[in-house]
Structure formats: C-alpha cells, structure tokens
Homo-oligomer: A and B are copies of this chain.
Amino acid sequence: MSQTGKGRVLLSVTGYDPKRWYELLSTERDVVLEPEGARDPSIRYAVVWKQKPNVLSALPNLRAVFSVGAGVDHLFADPGLPDVPIVRVVAENLTQYMREYIVWRVLDHHRQGIQYRAQQIGKIWDEPYQPPAGDISVGIMGMGHLGRAAAGVLLNLGFSVNGWTRTERPMEGVSCWHGRDGLPGFLAATDILVVLLPLTHDTRGIVDYRLLSQLRQKNALGGAVLINAGRGKLQRETDILRALDEGILKEVSLDVFEQEPLPETSPLWTHPNVFVTPHAAATSDPAHLVPPMLAQMDAHERGEPLTNLVNRSAGY
C-alpha cells in the first residue's frame, strides 16, 4: 500500500480504453490495471465494467466493487462475483444527461418532430393539431434516481406523469403503479412509454408485443410512443417492429439495442418512425464520476457506510 496507506484500486474494464479512469483514480490512490494485480492482497476496491470472470473473486481483501455505469447487469454476468457491497454510480452529471435525453425525446414526439421534418422535405406549410401537454400521459417504467429526475421536468412542462416500479414507490404529482399486477393499469393510462428499468431476470424482454399492445392507442397524439433508454435486452425488437407495422406504436426512440452496435441489417435503422441513437443518452464521463467514487472510498476507510448500494437479491 502506498499513498498514505490507502487501499489500492483494481481497474477492470473490457470494451473500451480506461486511460482517463486510470489517470483520474491515480490522482488519489494506487491503481492497478487488470491483468496486473491478480490476487493482490493490498487491493481493497475494484472499479469495473464488464470485468473478466473470476478476477474479483481471487482478491483476498476486496471490500467493495464500483460500477462505472448506472446499470449493473454487466457485473452479474461474472459467476465468481464476490459477496461484497456493490456501489452504483450516482452522479449529477449522469442524471442530467439522462433527464435531458428523456425530455428531448418526449418533446420531439409530442411536438411532432417526425411529421414536421417530413413536411419540410415536401415544402408543406401545414399545422397539424397540437395537443397540450396536459392531455398527454408519459409513463416511466423505473422510477429510480434517473426516472424521478425526468419526471420532475416533465411535470414542470405540464405533462401528466405515470410511474411504474417493482415495489411501491410514490412520488408527488405522479400517478404510481407497482408490481406485475399494476402493469395493465399503468400501460392503459400511458401515451408515451419511457423505459428506464434495470436489466434483471424479471425485466429481460419485458418490452414485448403483449406489453406494447396494452398502451393507450386512442390518444391525442394519434398513437402510442416508446422510448427506451434503459437496456437493450429489456426489449424484443421484432415485437417493436411488429407493433409499429400494426399501428399499435406510432413512433419509437431507442438508445439501446439487443445487440450493440446495432447491426447494419436491422430494419430499425431505416424505419421512418424510429429514431436511433448509439447508446449515447447518458455518457459515463470519468471527470464527473471518479470524484464521488474516491469520496466513497475515503468515507469507507473512515468507517462510514457506503451509499447507493446495489440490492443483490433484486439484481439492481
């Protein structure tokens, strides 16, 4: 151990270059980049994204794992994930990006951006009926930190907001449903569905044809809208395309996909009523995410409790 006796940090990331994370974590702690550090007893913390299996379980003194993204499903893919606290990243920066993306996509569908862009191509000067926000219900599946932040701005803009959560979780001004029993009521009252759920055994594939066909289709927008900024594997893309073709869905915005990058062969790329972004709703910017991680490590070493912990039995 160096840096005045602070526990070392293992950085275990696959899929992208962790250079900035390494630099920023190194400003305050000794950082070891995997595959270095195997079985190192001085490592107390691991900062991970899709870590290689069984690397963490081999560390004898690991005290906590930090995920570099808001979702933690990537962590549970490791069969040797040790039984230590898992800290979810919560940063104002990440919340702001996600809230912004949700409000942007809701407004673009609500204000008929797809229709206006098509009219512009045809040089058509025509004003379709514009419902007021109060006549539109935005339903958010997953009312955690990010969902609640988006709900706040949508309420402020005058939308009706519905929320659906696994267990009861009320929010002022929001009509709330919970559990599988609450799902039909939530969907039947929702015009624009926003999916922000974590990916767990319970939620995998939840956005399927059966769910989509329960959304309110006879509404002031002329159809239901889907926005998914959660995880790609929450959705069944063939079902989304079928719902679009059958008129169950009017328009869709997707930031996440069953397979990423979205394959060139996917019909989602070219569908006129689908808007695609490349998993860009909320970027994990290390400059904003590393400081709260370092602060949590310091607090932990002072004997204070870790915060924003993942509920392992729920899987998120």
Contacts and interface: CB of A to CB of B under 8 A. Distances in A.
Contacts of A120: 269, 275-276
Count class of interface residues, chain A: 35 or more
Contacts of A123: 264, 269
Interface in A243-294: 260-262, 264, 269, 275-280, 283, 285, 288
A279 B127 contact: yes
A120 B283 CA distance: 19
A270 to B, nearest CB: 8
Given A107-B104, A111-B104, A120-B269, A125 B278 contact: yes
Contacts of A97: 130, 132
A116 B277 contact: yes
A133 interface: yes
A184 interface: no
Contact of A157 (B99, B119, B158): B99
A111 B117 contact: no
A1 interface: no
Nearest to A158: B96
A126 B157 contact: no
Given A262-B125, A275-B120, A278-B125, A100 B111 contact: yes
